[in-house]
Structure 1
Amino acid sequence: MNVKPVICLGCAFWDTIFKIDHIPDHGAKVLPEKAVQAASGMATAAAATIARLGGDVEIWARIGDDPTGDSFLHDLSREAIRTDHIRRIAGARTAFSTILVDRSGERLVVPYTDPSLDADPSWLPLHRVAEAAAVLVDMRWIEGAKVLFAEAQRHGVPRILDADVAPPDELRQMITLADHVLFSEAALLSLAESRSPRDALLDVAQHLDAEIVGVTLGAAGALVWQRGAPEGTLSEFPTLPVHAVDTLNAGDVWHGTYVYGLVNGWDLPTRIRIANVAAAMKCEHFGGRLGSPRLPELFERSRTLLQETLT
């Protein structure tokens, strides 16, 4: 097993998640069946996933010096994540969101990020990058992501981008900086004229230097392009049929599992298949990232349902 740390940089949110029957299309008072609060955000949820799988991981992020920030750090203290490089910014509010999850697992997310969360990345401990196994960034702190990717490239450390929806100019810039560009479907389609994920992926990939370019498609699994494959070739990886209770953070769990597999030497097909299983398992549990699996149950589910031989 890899013993070097993975560095995850980006989004740090405090989520309040309500389970309801349906999301109303007009003004109403809705009484939830359940409610959960948890530290979350794309990079944060990916880091928590890596930790649950047994990986060495740390999160680099910004939060406020408010009670919500206290709750964020306390919640992460329950996971094996290094948090000493989370910066608390005086006078700022920690980012937070309210999320409604309906009976089919779909969600409505209302996030808020305080503009006073200082974006300056000059405090980042970049000396640690040389000893990292990989770095993963999301699209929510571009200034930090750029300097982290630049340092990782200088040291030959793999760079993974969670390419979710963002201003198109920022997204186009960031995808040129990563070795592994892993899109959400909406983000990919925002950069291409085609509405077909397959055509869009091939179109975007041919303009990048990345080794791997992929897109997650929810219940349809994932499509992946790999450098060196015959021109026009995409690999399709279906996911597991599950009863989805909550799809929140499924993509983040997918990314965290992918990175865990990468740094532990799993080949690309195994990486994708097991990431699909992890995301599907998460969807079976209400509570966002709290549904991410542990390694033994993930391996057992993968063996049973995918007939995979894991080493």
Structure 2
Amino acid sequence: MNDKPVICLGCAFWDTIFKIDRIPGHGAKVLPEKAVQAASGMATAAAVTIARLGGKVEIWARIGDDPTGDSFLHDLSNEAVRTESIRRIPGARTAFSTILVDRFGERLVVPYTDPSLDADPGWLPLDRVAEAAAVLVDMRWREGAKTLLAEARRHGVPTLLDADVAPPEQLREMIALADHVLFSEPALLSLASNRSPRDALMSVAQDLEAEIVGVTLGAAGAMIWQREASEDIVSEFPTIPIEAVDTLNAGDVWHGTYAYGLVNGWNLARRVRIANVAAAMKCEHFGGRLGSPRLPDLLERSRALVQAPAT
């Protein structure tokens, strides 16, 4: 097993998640069936996923010097994620979200990020990048992400981008910087309107230098374009059928699992298939990233899918 850490950089949120029957279409008071609070955010959830699978991982992020930040750090202390490189910014509020999850597992997310969370990446401990196994960044702190991606490339460290929804010009800037560009479906289609996911993936990938360009498709699994293969081939990887309880953080769990597989030598097909299963397993549990699986359970659920051919 790889003994170098994966560095995850990006958003750090404190989530309050309510399970309700349905998301109302107008003003109402809704009593939840369940409620949980957890440290979250795309990079944070990916980091927890890597840790739960047994990988070494650290999170680089910004939080406020406030009680919510205390809660964020305390919650992560229950996971094997290194938090020494989380910067606490005096006078700022930690980012937070309120999330409603309905009986079908779909969600309504209302996030807030304090503008006073200093975006300057000058404090990042870039001297540690050369010893990393890989770096994974999201779209929510672009200044830090660009700095980390550039340093990782300088040292030949693999780079992964969680290419989620953002203004198209920002997406185009960021996807040019990573070796593994991994889109959400809405983000990909925002760059190639009036195209199918397959056509959009091929169109976007051929303008990049990335080794791998992929898109997650929820219950349909994922599609992957690989530079080493023919430029007009996109492989489809299915997932397992489940009854979704909560889809929150499923994509983040997918990215964390993909990163874990990459640094532990799994071939492309294996890491995509197992990432699909990890995301599906997460969706079977309420509570966002709290549903991310442990490695033995994940490998057991993945056994049949991993042996199947790609299409």
Structure 2 Cα separation of the partners of residues 259 and 272 of structure 1:
10
Provide the C-alpha distance between the structure 2 equivalents of 1:231 and 1:96, rounded to a whole number of angstroms: 41
What amino acid maps onto 2:56 in structure 1? D
Shift of 1:183: 0.1
Unaligned stretches of 5+ residues in structure 2: none
Structure-2 separation of matches of 1:193 and 1:116: 34
CA contact 2:270–2:306 (8 Å) conserved in 1: no
**What one-letter code is carried by the residue in structure 1 that aligns with 2:244?**
A
> Aligned residue for 1:221?
221
1:238 maps onto 2:246 in alignment: no
Question: Alpha-carbon deviation of 1:273?
Answer: 0.2
| Secondary structure at the counterpart of residue 8 of structure 1 | strand
Q: How does the TM-score come out when normalised to structure 1?
A: 0.98
1:190 aligns to what SS in structure 2?
A: helix
**In 2: Cα distance, 1:142 partner to 1:169 partner:** 12
Matches within 5 A, 1:281-292: 281-292=281-292
- Please list, as runs of the form range in 1=range in 2, the aligned pairs for 1:83-122 lying within 5 A after superposition: 83-122=83-122
Q: Which residue number corresponds to residue 279 of structure 1?
A: 279
Match of 2:181 in 1: 181
CA distance in structure 2 between the partners assigned to 1:64 and 1:196 by the alignment: 41
Partner SS, residue 30 of structure 1:
coil
User: Which letter does structure 1 place at the counterpart of 2:305?
Assistant: L
What does residue 132 of structure 1 align with?
Answer: 132
Report the count of equivalent residues: 308
Distance 1:79 1:301 in 2: 23
Change (3 A) 1:175 1:307: closer
Distance 1:308 1:18 in 2: 37
The AA in structure 2 aligned to 1:58 is: E
What is the distance in 2 between the residues matched to 1:171 and 1:197? 16
Residue 305 of structure 2 is aligned to residue 306 of structure 1: yes
SS of structure 1 residue aligned to 2:87: strand
Match of 1:147 in 2: 147
SS in structure 1 at match of 2:99: strand
Q: Equivalents in 1 of 2:307, 2:155: separation in Å?
A: 34
1:208-228, Cα deviation, whole Å (9 max, x unpaired): 000000000001110000002
CA distance in 2 between counterparts of 1:231 and 1:307 reads 24
The residue identity in structure 2 corresponding to 1:31 is: L
Structure 2 distance, partners of 1:71, 1:243, is: 31
Q: Specify the alignment match of 1:165 in structure 2.
A: 165
Shift of 1:167: 1.3
Distance in 1, Cα, partners of 2:300 & 2:155:
36
Q: What one-letter code is carried by the residue in structure 2 that aligns with 1:38?
A: A
Query: Residues 29-76 of structure 1: CA distance to partner in whole angstroms, max 9, x if unpaired?
Result: 000000000000000000000000000000000000000000000000
Letter in 2 for 1:287: G
Q: 2:191 aligns to what SS in structure 1?
A: coil
**Cα distance in 2, alignment partners of residues 173 and 38 from structure 1:** 31
Alignment partner of 1:136: what SS? strand
Give 1:307 shift: 5.8
Residues in 1 aligned to 2:110 and 2:306: alpha-carbon distance in whole angstroms: 39
Give the equivalent residue in structure 1 for 2:247: 247
Letter in 2 for 1:284: E
Could you tell me how far apart the structure 1 residues matched to 2:169 and 2:193 are? 15
Q: For each residue in 1:146-177, what CA deviation from the matched residue of structure 2 results, as whole angstroms up to 9, or x when unmatched?
A: 11001000000000000000111111000000
For 1:101 and 1:65, the matched residues in 2 are separated by 29
Aligned to 1:39: 39
Cα deviation for residue 230 of structure 1 reads 1.6
Kept in 1, the 8 Å contact 2:273–2:306? The answer is no
Specify the alignment match of 1:15 in structure 2: 15
Q: 2: CA distance between counterparts of 1:172 and 1:256?
A: 22
My pick for the range that moved more, 242-251 or 187-196, is 187-196
Q: How far off is 1:285 after superposition?
A: 0.2
Task: Please report how far the alpha carbon of residue 232 of structure 1 lies from its aligned counterpart in structure 2 after TM superposition.
Answer: 1.2
Q: Secondary structure at the match of 1:223?
A: strand
Residues in 1 aligned to 2:71 and 2:307: alpha-carbon distance in whole angstroms: 39
Deviations 1:233-285 (A, max 9, x none): 00000111100000000000000000000000000000000000000000000
Separation in 2 of the partners of 1:229 and 1:211?
10
The 8 Å contact of residues 274 and 306 in structure 2, kept in 1 or not, is answered as no
Equivalent AA in structure 1 for residue 232 of structure 2: G
